[in-house]
């Protein structure tokens, strides 16, 4: 009989190509505040909660702000971000994701979402992949943001698998660190120089074949 592992997917930048929309929405606010905000700076924000992301941007620009202003910018950022998602459909799913989800389902492997985003559910609905997930843990369910492992620990609990039987797919440094802290297998999706702390790194899911997935299941 096949072994049963827990496969935990981050959302933004792993399943869907939304990382670019987070970047655009944050860049708009940063530039309005006179803060230079580059793609390199953006790496610091990946996997990080909305509230913490704003604080990082303000720290980058050495800008002090009242709670009232921060609340206003957080709302503005999310409205701007959501405007990019209005027409979202399955075309936004990143290359190679569907074959991996289908392979895991065919092999009866539990699948969870482990995302910092509070917009995760509508995105899974709009892209039509909600039914693939046996458990969803998102920014509404956790207190501590990645690199704190809370989101992945919660997901593994819901899947009823141990940490050592959990496999995490992540595009962010904070997320890879969270998986490592939880002693789960971390698989980076993206660039080697950014994600070198991950135990395996793939440029994207098209580079991950079924033999590799089989090896994870039978590990």
The residues annotated with a catalytic role in the active site are 10, 12
Assess 115 for contact with ligand BG6 (CB under 6 A). Answer: yes
Assess 118 for contact with ligand BG6 (CB under 6 A). Answer: yes
Distant-in-sequence, close-in-space partners of 106: CB < 8 Å, separation ≥ 6: none
Per partner kind, with CB cut-offs from 5 to 8 A, the member of Mg ion, ligand BG6, none near residue 119 is ligand BG6
* Alpha carbon distance 182, 149 (integer Å): 6
Phi, psi dihedrals of residue 98, rounded to the nearest 5°: -60, -45
**Listed ranges 45-53, 125-133, 153-161, 209-217: which one lies at the site for ligand BG6 (CB under 6 A):** 45-53
DSSP string, 116-157: S-TTHHHHHHHTT-GGG-SEEE-TTT-SSPTTSTHHHHHHHH
Q: How many residues bind ligand BG6 (CB under 6 A)?
A: 18
Residue in the block written with tokens 């606010």: 29
Assess 4 for contact with ligand BG6 (CB under 6 A). Answer: no
Q: How far is the CB of 172 from ligand BG6 (least distance, A)?
A: 6
Alpha helices (H) in 63-218, listed in sequence order: 67-85, 97-106, 120-126, 150-159, 173-181, 210-218
Biggest alpha carbon distance in the chain? 59
**Listed ranges 47-55, 95-103, 161-169, 197-205: which one lies at the site for ligand BG6 (CB under 6 A):** 47-55
Which of 53, 163, 166, 177 lies at the binding interface for ligand BG6 (CB under 6 A)? 53
Residues at the contact surface with Mg ion, assessed by CB under 5 A: 10, 12-13, 171-172
Assess 22 for contact with ligand BG6 (CB under 6 A). Answer: yes
Residue 179 in tokens? 């998986």
Cβ contact 137:114 at 8 Å: yes
In the shown chain, the binding pattern of residues 119 to 158 toward ligand BG6, with x for contact by CB under 6 A and - for none, equals: x-------------------x-------------------
Assess 43 for contact with ligand BG6 (CB under 6 A). Answer: no
Q: How far is the CB of 46 from Mg ion (least distance, A)?
A: 5
Assess 28 for contact with ligand BG6 (CB under 6 A). Answer: no
3-class DSSP state of 167: strand
State which residue, 70 or 118, has the beta carbon closest to ligand BG6.
Answer: 118
Angle at 152 between CA 149 and CA 156, to 5 degrees: 135
The residues that touch ligand BG6, with contacts defined as CB under 6 A, are 11-12, 22, 45-50, 53, 78, 115-119, 139, 172
């Amino acid at each position: 009989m096949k072994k049963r592992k827990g496969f935990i997917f981050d959302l933004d930048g792993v399943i869907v190509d939304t990382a670019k929309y987070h970047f655009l929405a944050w860049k708009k606010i940063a530039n309005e505040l006179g803060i230079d905000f580059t793609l390199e700076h953006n790496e610091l924000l990946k996997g990080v909660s909305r509230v913490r992301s704003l604080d990082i941007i303000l720290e980058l620009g050495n800008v002090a702000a009242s709670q009232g202003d921060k609340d206003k910018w957080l709302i503005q950022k999310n409205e701007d971000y959501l405007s990019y998602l209005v027409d979202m459909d399955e075309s936004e799913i990143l290359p190679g994701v569907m074959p991996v989800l289908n392979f895991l389902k065919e092999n009866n492997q539990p699948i969870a979402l482990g995302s910092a985003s509070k917009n995760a559910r509508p995105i899974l609905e709009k892209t039509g992949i909600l039914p693939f997930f046996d458990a969803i843990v998102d920014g509404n369910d956790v207190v501590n943001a990645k690199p704190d492992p809370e989101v992945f620990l919660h997901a593994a609990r819901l899947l009823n698998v141990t940490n050592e039987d959990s496999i995490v797919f992540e595009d962010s440094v904070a997320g890879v660190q969270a998986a490592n802290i939880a002693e789960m297998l971390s698989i980076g999706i993206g660039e080697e120089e950014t994600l070198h702390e991950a135990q395996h790194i793939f440029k994207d899911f098209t580079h991950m074949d079924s033999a590799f997935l089989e090896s994870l299941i039978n590990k």
